[in-house]
Amino acid sequence: MDRDKEKCVFVIDESLPVGMIANTAAILGLTIGEEVPSIIGPVIPDGAGRSHLGITIAPIPVLRGTRAILMDLREKLFDPEYADVKVVDFSEPAMYSRSYAEYAEKLAEISGDAVRYLGLAMIGPKKKVNRLTGGIPLLK
């Protein structure tokens, strides 16, 4: 990941309970780390020579979304203009499924405009990510 040219941002539904916000952020982070391995730094030693696994090399702002903001963002990210922005979405069908197969079944039964998104992670060209998220405040 080139921090000067790319940006990673999470947008999470602010109305969720704190535990679900934490779970959503964890899931988004795991998937971004898998999809964009260059966002994770190398293993580093501490002063005693003990190893510490790499963490993200880039700041990841977590922004305060609403149901409408998340739906609008997700729809925009389906546009070919944003094909170079990688997006991870986390939705109610995922949150409330007991297995990945159940999640796949539930998602297949829902029309795209009826999916309730709980959070989105996006990583891509800094200008495009800023254009999409520039007006959304930090989740505090």
Q: Where are the domains of the chain?
A: 6-133
**Per-residue pLDDT, 114:** 86
CATH of domain 6-133: 3.40.1490.10
CA dist., res. 16 & res. 66, Å (int):
10
- Please report, in tens digits, the pLDDT of each residue of the chain (140 residues total): 787 899 999 999 999 999 999 999 999 999 999 999 999 999 999 999 999 999 999 999 999 999 999 999 999 999 999 999 999 999 999 999 999 999 999 999 988 788 899 999 999 999 999 999 999 999 98
What's the confidence (pLDDT) of residue 111? 82
Position 3 scores a pLDDT of 79
> Whole-structure pTM over 0.85, yes or no?
yes
- What are the helix (H) ranges across 36-138? 67-77, 92-95, 100-108, 126-133
